[in-house]
């Protein structure tokens, strides 16, 4: 006799989610390094510190970084580099747009 209410097989939904998790880039490790650094399409980090070139997602985070790492230099919002404005995104019609969570399914 098997256990109570325990499924004996994996469901198709569970298998599909495991395949999706194993094959989709989530942005971590070496594969997501370029995305985090802002080299391709500006990355997730939108702003760059003019002094140490570290990136931050918004101006408030950049201000917190600046006050803690560069306390002797006054913070000027105009000096902060916007990476999304400087990087030109290629023609989006040539690449297929990914669906939910990066899958190419429709």
8-64 tens-digit pLDDT: 677 888 899 888 888 776 767 776 776 666 555 545 678 889 999 888 888 899 999
- Cα 82 from Cα 59, distance rounded (Å): 10
The domain segmentation of the chain, as residue ranges, is: 32-87
The CB density around residue 83, as the number of other CB atoms within 10 Å, is: 19
- Cα 21 from Cα 18, distance rounded (Å): 5
pLDDT surpasses 70 at 67? yes
- Cα 97 from Cα 31, distance rounded (Å): 19
**How confident is the model over 61-78, as a mean pLDDT?**
93
- pTM for the model: 0.45
């Amino acid at each position: 006799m098997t256990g109570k209410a325990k499924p004996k097989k994996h469901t198709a939904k569970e298998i599909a989610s495991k395949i999706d998790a194993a094959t989709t880039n989530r942005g971590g490790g070496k594969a997501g390094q370029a995305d985090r650094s802002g080299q391709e399409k500006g990355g997730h980090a939108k702003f760059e510190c003019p002094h140490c070139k570290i990136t931050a997602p918004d101006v408030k985070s950049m201000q917190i970084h600046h006050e803690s790492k560069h306390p002797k230099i006054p913070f000027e919002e105009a000096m902060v580099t916007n990476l999304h404005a400087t990087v030109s995104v290629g023609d989006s019609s040539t690449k297929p747009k990914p669906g939910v969570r990066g899958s190419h399914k429709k």
